[in-house]
Structure 1
Amino acid sequence: MTYQTKSKIFVRDDGEAGLQVFSPYTGLFYNIPAEDRTEVLEWLDGHRTTVSQCYLDSIGLLWKTTFAKVAEQSLIHVPTSTNISIDRLLVINWLITGKCTHKCPYCYAQDMRELDSCIKTEADVDRMVSIVLSYSPLAVVISGGEPLLHPFFRSIIEKLHGKTGIIVDTNGILLTEEHIQFLKENDVVVRISVDSLIEKNDRITRQTCERKRQPDNLSAVLKAVELCIRKELTLVIHTVVTAANKNDLLSMGEKLYCVGVHVWKLMQLVDIKTNEAKRLTVSYQSSEHFSRLIKRSVNAMWQDRMRVIIQENNPRSLNATVLVSPDGRFLTQAVSGNKKIPLDPSYPNMPREEEIRKRLDLWEHRKRYMGE
């Protein structure tokens, strides 16, 4: 069972697979080998004041220590042996609405736009939260569409608070100071999507649903980013690497570092079968090249303040994500293409765990979030 420790960090004991950890201070996931679980749990619950240095430098980041103090060390997730079985979900991505202010050409949720939300009353919120929590996820990602558009957005957050880690994915356009205060009070990590800091390049991938693009979209998002930093809300900048922004990444990383962003996640564009998305796709080899450039900058300049996560979507990888669609179905998505697959065709709204294990590569699922 997932629970929140005294330190506000979420943990789940998976037996021989070790202790799974999610930090709301960074939005990062860790795995603790089984032999160290007692030491780490006692530390997170305030029953001991010291812990092995590797855990202080990883789980303790932005809670007990700063990036600068561990700048010379490798800021990696604690590794674990592959000789163990993985049989539990780590993260559930809950798309609470298909409605959005944008129509990004690479969006993996394009086929969710017309779906009606299954949440129309507070009773519906209680029911869906109960179902999602029944799988004891270490964290739930509240996504869409644009989740801030859902009328029960706050209620969903409040009912998840304290029971699992919470991450909210947003394009930042609608994010206000009032939202930020609410999210901070509920220990939420916010991931804002920013693909480029250059207006003309941002315009290529960040297309609004309105026929005429609002000229201040990018500036509005950047104001939201600055406000999150100023209010000390845990923030992750999420960037999809495309042909439109691949040459901007180093300068973008430098600017994010300078304004105080602590975590920057870059993701290779998933192979979505639309003509517009194909034009934006970067080859796997080209993506690896830019990954190396970014990693070099991390080691040389940024590691004292910013953690960079590079998620390389290997086209040979198997299904690794769990999606809950706006209408309440549990799905997974192939790495290549936009096809969604029911996790349990017989019980799509409450899949059996044995059926989930048949259709989901749980090792790939784990690697996706822990970066092992």
Structure 2
Amino acid sequence: MDNEFCCVDEVLGQFFPGGCSLAAAAAAPPAAQQQHFDDDNNNKWRWCKEAADKLILEQTVRFKEDGFGVQFHPLFSYGTASVWGECALDELTRAYWEVAVDEVYGSSMMFGIGTRDALQTVPFGFVDLLGGVGRLGDQAYGLSHKGSIFHAGTSTPFCERLRSMDGPCTCTVGILFDGPSARIGFSLDGKWLGWAFQTVKLAGRVYFPMVSSTAQRSYFTLLQHRQRQTRSPNTLQQQCMDAMVEQMLRARGTELPSLGKFGLPKGMECELWHKWCKRVMHGRSPPVERNASTQTEEGDPKSAEPPHSPRKRKCPPARGVRHASGDLGPPAANPLQKMPRHYYIAQ
């Protein structure tokens, strides 16, 4: 752990300046709390039901109607499961969110992030799912309720066992994702625990918030969350990328571009690729510019002719036979003239 911050309000003051503190929001009337919640979250996200269809069908998880709450193993527990949040996290994003649990118990309850390739469930095993299992552990970072952090199948002690500081049952875990510095930090009931991961792998990856549990009827509720991009869409860099996409579409149409030749950082290359895909899939491409070698003039018979139209082979014109004396004799007989029509070969 580190002592960089004393409380979550200091964290939010540095990474999300201008926003209302959590303490002030909690002390406000319920109507004001809801207004503050709505104002701070123009793009409110929830737990992702669409990515958990199989778990819902198997009755492994059950979502609350508003999407902010999820219950694991509502009937009985025989394995480990996880769910993703809807918030995309990349190297340009800073985000903070809090998850409240009714009671901390069981073999493993975890909080963290993971890509869509991260392991979602282990049907018959109680494991530390976020970052702690198999080769797919490289796709997730997680904090266990027992105080250890996991990534790529390895665990490291980080803090004491997560226990409620305000009551015997519930506790609130805060997760801070700082994309520009590739770090993940945690808090417990408003107290800053420290930076758990200092070198998150971000090149070409998009993460999402995750929670996992082995405990029967364990309930996770998404509380206040904040998110902002470190670069606004109207910056000079974004305008340059838009211009590059425009030029690529004009020069090569919808042909796949070769972005490696630009020598851009991996993050910018991925962002440029996403912009190109978005323009091709959802926008109209500008007309393709052709050079002089590919231009055809109007009225040129080549332009009117289909590219693969069959053409009949024509016989060479009959010519006279020149004798040794130099006189031009009668024309030689063309053998193809005596042939039926079907002997003409289509090219």
Normalising by structure 2, what TM-score? Answer: 0.24
Higher normalized helix content (fraction of residues): 1
TM-score normalized by the length of structure 1: 0.23
Larger strand share, 1 or 2: 2
